[in-house]
Structure 1
Amino acid sequence: MVIDFHTHTFPDRIAERALASLSKASRTFPFTDGTNDGLLASMKTSGIDLSVILPIATNPGQVEKINGSAAGINSLFPGKLISVGCMHPMYEDWYDELSRIRDLGLKGIKIHPVYQGVDIDDPLFIRILKRCAELDLFVITHAGKDIGFPGVDHCSVTMIRHAIEETGPFRFILAHMGGWKEWEDVPSLADTGVWLDTAFSTDHIIPADKEEWEQDELAMLDQDTFMHLVKIFTPEKILFGTDSPWSDQKASLDWIRKLPLAENEREMILHENAENILGIH
């Protein structure tokens, strides 16, 4: 069993346009066509059994529609695709909408402080985190810098710790191994109880055009640094994720399979931890 805890899809009518825009900003290229069917095809060739879709509301007006669509995905693709909900920090009806997310059967929400232009430890986010804790919804956030927004940082390790201190205990997942391109600071969060996902954090970036990049910009986590983080946080706190369509699912899975992990540790990372968070067995 393999669960990819970090993927993205778009409605068929906008997928091509969305990928073109995001690809231009990130100077990378997608590995699927960005649709649900494209993700399913990638899963089949990669040996991935279940993918978790993480929708992002880039403006408050998208929230309700995205959450309704997320519930629809879960009805259409049972056992293959599971979508979480979304929330925007400036959405006015956030309190009731989080209740609706729970009532729709969605297990958690995705937030993206960089895309949404608000620091993770801002009161606008803290109120959402506290409400999710009350409703037993997990929260997965983009963490660290973002490839499409050079120099912008709304979710640093320091901000994350402050948000946790303000919120209290809740199920909090940090994408990109805790802080994209800020991995040297991530070990300081080992005492907070957070989970880390592996999405778009291992090996190196595959650029759309190598001439647009400096060689050192392409580096991400090598095996030794990755294993150091696994040791610090423990395998029970690591979730396999790819960030598909922005990483190749098969290559990402092969990279994890080659790590010097005990078999029980590998199973935790590839599916058992995800099953526990999602409540599926």
Structure 2
Amino acid sequence: MEIIDSHTHAYPEKVVERAKENLQKSFSRQMITMPVLDNLYKYMDEAGISKSVIASVASRPDQVLSINNWLFSIKDPRVIAFASMHPYFAGFKEELKRIKDNASGIKLQSEFQLFFVDEEKAFPMYEELQKLEIPVLFHCGVELSSPGAVRSSPERILNVMNKFPHLKIIGAHMGGYLLWEDSLEKLAGKNIYFDTSDSVGNMPPELLDKFFAKHGYDKILFGSDFPLEIPKKEVDAVKALNISQENKEKIFAKNIKNLLKI
């Protein structure tokens, strides 16, 4: 059975130590290993994963170009690049054209990038993403290190969806980490993809059953969130679900191939 991981992170060797320290502090979680390509490939092999989306996040607007230059330089058939973007990056229109030619989507992590997903400052970027048909992977839900208002709650994601109905959205963590009931109520059944990272093994089974009943199986993508989670553990959690083999195949590979036209 083909498996494509829709949610991983990796960094250039020269910045990986600093990236690891900053991310562990930002996420209040320990990484399982250094987030470099060789380690990603090792964990992919262990889990039987053929391709992985590498989603890189720019914490500041001035980091966008350098991060994307590295992502675009990776020439490996096992990598699907989801480029960096920041809503406060002044040259977003020009960079999104470059992303359209060199990557398959972008990643936004509002808790890390310090913006609310439904703030008007981000609307011009969403409009351009919608026009160019570039998918956007949102971190969705609680971030353990960020107390207070959740910048990417299901309600805020829904506000974006209502404003930009044709924007191709992937809601990480089943649409709202630790806010799954809210995601079920507000997002399930709508025009949004969910990824399974940090969720399938943590959600109550009865709640997950309600997600499948309301949302179906055609817009759910397997994701591991490497290096914060072990890919094989996340693969095994999906394999253990009491659903048909056909629907597991959709989650593991068919759905993301349809979304990204690969």
Alignment partners' CA distance in 2, 1:52 and 1:128: 21
Equivalent position of 1:175 in the other structure = 172
Report the TM-score when normalising by structure 1.
0.88
Equivalent position of 2:101 in the other structure = 103
Equivalent position of 2:63 in the other structure = 62
Task: Kindly indicate whether the alpha-carbon contact (under 8 Å) linking 2:80 and 2:104 is maintained by their aligned counterparts in 1.
Answer: no
Q: Structure 1 residue 58: deviation in Å? A: 0.3
Among the aligned pairs, what percent are the same residue? 31
Q: Structure 1 residue 191: deviation in Å? A: 4.1
Task: Kindly indicate whether the alpha-carbon contact (under 8 Å) linking 1:108 and 1:138 is maintained by their aligned counterparts in 2.
Answer: yes
Structure 2: which 5+ residue stretches go unaligned? none
Alignment partners' CA distance in 2, 1:94 and 1:14: 24
5 Å-filtered alignment, 1:100-249, equals 100-104=98-102, 106-187=103-184, 188-203=186-201, 220-249=202-231
Alignment partners' CA distance in 1, 2:68 and 2:34: 22
Equivalent position of 1:5 in the other structure = 6
Paired letter, 1:9: A
SS of residue in 1 equivalent to 2:177: coil
Task: Kindly indicate whether the alpha-carbon contact (under 8 Å) linking 2:189 and 2:216 is maintained by their aligned counterparts in 1.
Answer: no
Work out the number of aligned pairs and report it.
260
Equivalent position of 1:45 in the other structure = 46
Q: Which of 88, 91, 99 is matched with 1:90 structurally?
A: 88
Q: Structure 1 residue 46: deviation in Å? A: 1.4
Equivalent position of 1:209 in the other structure = none
Larger displacement relative to structure 2 (254-263 or 160-169): 160-169
Summarize deviations over 1:5-43 as a string: whole Å, max 9, x none: 000011112223322333344443222321011100111
Alignment partners' CA distance in 2, 1:157 and 1:222: 18
Task: Kindly indicate whether the alpha-carbon contact (under 8 Å) linking 2:221 and 2:255 is maintained by their aligned counterparts in 1.
Answer: yes
Q: Which runs of 4+ in 1 moved over 6 A?
A: none
Larger displacement relative to structure 2 (120-129 or 137-146): 120-129
Q: Structure 1 residue 264: deviation in Å? A: 0.6
Structure 1 pair 121/5, CA: closer, same or farther in 2 (3 Å)? same
Paired letter, 1:271: A
SS of residue in 2 equivalent to 1:225: helix
SS of residue in 2 equivalent to 1:201: coil
Structure 1 pair 98/24, CA: closer, same or farther in 2 (3 Å)? closer
Larger displacement relative to structure 2 (221-230 or 160-169): 221-230
Alignment partners' CA distance in 2, 1:224 and 1:12: 42
Q: Structure 1 residue 125: deviation in Å? A: 1.7
Paired letter, 2:233: A
Alignment partners' CA distance in 2, 1:180 and 1:141: 11
Alignment partners' CA distance in 2, 1:153 and 1:278: 29
SS of residue in 2 equivalent to 1:84: strand
Task: Kindly indicate whether the alpha-carbon contact (under 8 Å) linking 1:22 and 1:148 is maintained by their aligned counterparts in 2.
Answer: no
Task: Kindly indicate whether the alpha-carbon contact (under 8 Å) linking 2:172 and 2:197 is maintained by their aligned counterparts in 1.
Answer: yes
Alignment partners' CA distance in 2, 1:230 and 1:29: 31
Q: Structure 1 residue 83: deviation in Å? A: 1.3
Task: Kindly indicate whether the alpha-carbon contact (under 8 Å) linking 1:52 and 1:81 is maintained by their aligned counterparts in 2.
Answer: yes
Task: Kindly indicate whether the alpha-carbon contact (under 8 Å) linking 2:217 and 2:250 is maintained by their aligned counterparts in 1.
Answer: yes
Alignment partners' CA distance in 2, 1:100 and 1:21: 27
Paired letter, 2:124: R
Alignment partners' CA distance in 1, 2:255 and 2:231: 19
